[in-house]
Amino acid sequence: MIMNSFNNICKSHLREAFFLKTKSDYLKLFLIPIILGCIIYPIIDDLIYGSAYDTQTSFFTLVCALIWVGLFNSIQVFCTRRETIKMRYYQERMSISGYVFSQFIFEMLICFIQAIILAIMFFYMIKKPDNVGLYINWKIEYFITFYLIMIAADALGLFVSALSKNIQNAMSSVPFVLVAQMILSNALFSLNTNFDKVSMIMISRWGIDALGSIAHIKELKGGILLKGKFPEITYAASKSHLLQCWSVLILIVIVSILLAVFFLNRVKNDRI
């Protein structure tokens, strides 16, 4: 009975999420990955698969772009609707958890389409690699990794949006989130022990590691030197390691959504 009620709430909020966005909103969401692909891919095409370091730099740039897209999708979702959520909670006893989960399902669909766009552009605009892939078709592995990075960033954006009481606070936090993802990725420079522990929760670290594993980055020119300079990221070209990277990204998604539910529940304490 409780599960049926929760499912009905999720379906109701999911329909609402679809209709809250205008045609121009959807146009922006799907134009952004196309524009980013047209800017980034021609640049990294000259670098990727040439040497281990250049390939890592290319993946770093790509992962930062994927994180930015995910954050852009969701960073304003809850903070712009906070007053409406508050009123509906008091008037209708709206389920906050149902509202968050239904919004996340909607975000998953948006990220899925965006990941398809970016993946297709990647396959056609980037030169073909000689030795990539671990599990199945290398294109599918790249797509799954793109999608998990984007959905993890999207879930992080929902958490930040739930934490923020207004759009100004949410948007001002974006540069800090992006800078943290860049610096703590372990791909720019080797971090000391304390910061390396913090990097374990960074989307960028696991995203770059997964892409590097698929590309067999250690087998490229300078792979041994790269391992010595960045020992924290293993780039192990094995199925188990790729699964580990994917699993951590999924864990980041779960934790971010649970935190979003927790902090959005604070709307109950806001003054009407």
Average pLDDT per consecutive 10 residues, the chain (272 residues; last block may be shorter): 48 56 69 90 85 86 93 86 71 74 88 93 82 75 95 95 86 89 78 73 91 85 61 76 93 95 78 54
Q: Angle at CA 248, nearest 5°, toward 246 and 252?
A: 115
192 burial via Cβ count (<10 Å: 0-12, 13-18, 19+): exposed
For residue 221, the model assigns a pLDDT of: 78
- Write down the residue that tokens 């992006």 correspond to: 178
Residues 6+ apart with CB under 8 A from 40: 61, 62, 65
Nearest to 191 by CA among 240, 251, 132, 231: 231
Nearest to 103 by CA among 228, 256, 266: 256
Q: How far apart are CA 106 and CA 165, in angstroms?
A: 22
Nearest to 74 by CA among 180, 192, 153: 153
For residue 99, the model assigns a pLDDT of: 82
Query: Rounded to 5 degrees, what are φ and ψ at 138?
Result: -60, -30
For residue 270, the model assigns a pLDDT of: 61
pTM: 0.88
Q: How far apart are the first and last CA of the chain?
A: 31
